[in-house]
Chain A
């Protein structure tokens, strides 16, 4: 029951986020606004406990949720045949750059944090 309540909170916040995003022409997608609203609401324990139960379940199976859209690769086989190697090279290189830059920035700032 608790995780069901939690799911209701998540969906309600997402809906509110969609309303604010479309209605207020805000630069964030609906779920992002929903996340920020929920973050504010989490200070109340009667919101927090059900949300925690549902969020733990949902986030521990997060990788499953990417499968349907991943299978969508097959609908772009034309583009992939033509540019596949180059697209993959761009993705691999830029992901490495992102990983390396982030980790090195944190490593460098950690030192000044302690100084």
Chain B
């Protein structure tokens, strides 16, 4: 028994532990999600986060130790943002055709998501640093962290808000769109997907991609546009006030 404890203490402190646990838990969550016909409530990000956080709490491994391994996965968020150039390129014909409508929707939708978060945060009496961390919540996590840092928010908190935002979008998008009677024809999928990418970034786009290929592509497009617009507009607006 003492030997096992020693081994555990050794293993749980190496980067191998955090990296392996993240992949194993995610692969299991993904398998369960597939088994449940990709039901929105079975979202693999949500359940991976819940499982890993519980696991770390139960085993007494702290977050920095876990992250020493998980950072290898986290690092790929940067190249993934660069990779968004691909869906943008792929849909360049549709982009050229509908660029006015899409750009208008990206700007108005982005301002609505960010502005309502700031306003509601202020109305609900949240501390200023928390409110500022809410501003970039509809942008993918690595970019949200950079924006929060620039405007005086807390980067780690901004990343968490972005992840929760993505999960909320992935869980409730379809219900909202059905309620609003958005059709499921070509234009309908474009609008649904684009809306998911605008308000719920990568997690919303991942969900959209599983529901419909076109919706997924437009979600990727919206996510890429939102990354550019938010990095430009949010710090600019904060500099003016």
CB-based contact A91/B137 at 8 Å:
yes
Interface size on B, residues (CB 8 A): 105
0 or 1 for each of A82-115: is its CB under 8 Å from B? (1 = yes): 0100111111111111111111111101100100
Chain A nearest CB: distance from B217 CB in Å?
10
Complex CA distance for A96 and B112, rounded to whole angstroms:
10
CB-based contact A79/B130 at 8 Å:
yes
Residue of chain B at shortest CB distance from A21: B146
Contact of A62 with B202 at beta-carbon distance under 8 Å, contacts A91-B117, A95-B168, A99-B173 already known = yes
CB-based contact A34/B180 at 8 Å:
no
Interface size on A, residues (CB 8 A): 69
Contact of A54 with B73 at beta-carbon distance under 8 Å, contacts A63-B45, A87-B130 already known = no
B39 adjacent to chain A (CB < 8 Å): no
CB-based contact B125/A86 at 8 Å:
yes
Chain A nearest CB: distance from B171 CB in Å?
10
Among the listed A30, A58, A99, which residue makes an inter-chain contact with B169, where contact means beta carbons less than 8 Å apart? Answer: A99
Q: What does DSSP make chain A's interface, helix, strand, loop or mixed? A: helix
Chain A nearest CB: distance from B233 CB in Å?
9
Complex CA distance for A27 and B101, rounded to whole angstroms:
25
CB-based contact B85/A66 at 8 Å:
no
Among the listed B18, B104, B116, B231, which residue makes an inter-chain contact with A109, where contact means beta carbons less than 8 Å apart? Answer: B104
Chain B nearest CB: distance from A8 CB in Å?
10
CB-based contact A98/B83 at 8 Å:
no
B132 adjacent to chain A (CB < 8 Å): no
Q: Which residues of B contact A (CB under 8 A)?
A: 18, 22-23, 25-26, 44-45, 48-49, 52-53, 56-57, 63, 66-67, 70-71, 73-74, 76-89, 98, 100-102, 104-106, 108-110, 112-114, 116-117, 120-121, 124-127, 130, 134, 137-138, 141-143, 146-147, 156-157, 159-161, 163-166, 168-169, 172-173, 176-177, 180, 182, 187, 190-192, 194-196, 198-200, 202-203, 205-206, 209, 220, 222, 224, 227-228, 231-232, 235-236
The 9 closest A-B pairs by CB, nearest first: A98-B113, A102-B109, A98-B199, A68-B70, A55-B86, A31-B81, A94-B117, A55-B83, A109-B101
List 13 extra interface pairs beyond A55-B86, A64-B73, A94-B120, CB under 8 A.
A13-B82, A59-B86, A60-B209, A66-B166, A67-B26, A71-B56, A73-B53, A75-B63, A89-B124, A98-B116, A98-B199, A99-B199, A107-B182
